Amino acid sequence: MKKLLALAVLATLAAPVHADTWKDLKNSAKQQASDKAAEAMGVATPAPAGAKVYFIEPKDGATVSNPVKVVFGLSGAGVAPAGFNKEGTGHHHLLIDSPTIDYTQPLPATDQIKHFGGGQTETTLTLSPGKHTLQLEFADWKHQPFNPAVESQKITITVK
Ligand SMILES: [Cu+2]
């Protein structure tokens, strides 16, 4: 609790000066403090009710050529840029060839875990010829999977 109070004080000092009332300032400090605490403790955000992610493209089992266009589908939630903590939103991550995921931490950025923190809803990939798996992981403002996870079916494609 002491730590939270200290965070609240720090956040108050760092709050934007254009907030025009003490109440705004206080609410902003509270939000920033709870954001910082949630980030530090790896607190998973509750999944937006009914949220679903799925591939619009490519289809499961498809044979495709490079560059591979991938289009992300989402329903029951909104897309927001990373770092922007707004209820009911998150951003897309693409998991390539089944990386192991730690659901209690923000997702790292690797060759197998691509972040779309700008709020993008499609991408193109260049993959080696052969079979690959793709899965979408929709995650919160701090890149951490929701609880329960909002993830697509894992699809398999063959690259020519
Ligand atoms: Cu991310």
Give the separation between CA 83 and CA 101, rounded to whole angstroms: 20
Query: pLDDT value at position 1?
Result: 45
Distance 67 CA to ligand 1 centre (A): 23
Distance 16 CA to ligand 1 centre (A): 25
Name residue 139's beta-bridge partners. Answer: 91, 145
Query: pLDDT value at position 17?
Result: 56
Distance 85 CA to ligand 1 centre (A): 13
Q: CB under 8 Å to 45, separation ≥6 — which residues? A: 38, 90, 140, 141, 144, 146, 147
Distance 20 CA to ligand 1 centre (A): 32
Distance 66 CA to ligand 1 centre (A): 24
Give the separation between CA 129 and CA 64, rounded to whole angstroms: 10
Query: pLDDT value at position 22?
Result: 77
Asked if pLDDT for residue 16 goes beyond 60, the answer is no
Distance 138 CA to ligand 1 centre (A): 9
Q: How confident is the model at residue 89 (pLDDT cuts 50, 70, 90)?
A: very high
Distance 60 CA to ligand 1 centre (A): 24
Q: Tell me the one-letter amino acid at 159.
A: V
CATH superfamily of 52-159: Immunoglobulins (2.60.40.10)
**Would you list the domain boundaries of the chain?**
2-41, 52-159
Q: Tell me the one-letter amino acid at 14.
A: A
Q: CB under 8 Å to 55, separation ≥6 — which residues? A: 70, 71, 72, 73, 134, 136, 152, 153, 155
Report pLDDT digits (tens) over 110-130.
999 999 999 999 999 999 999
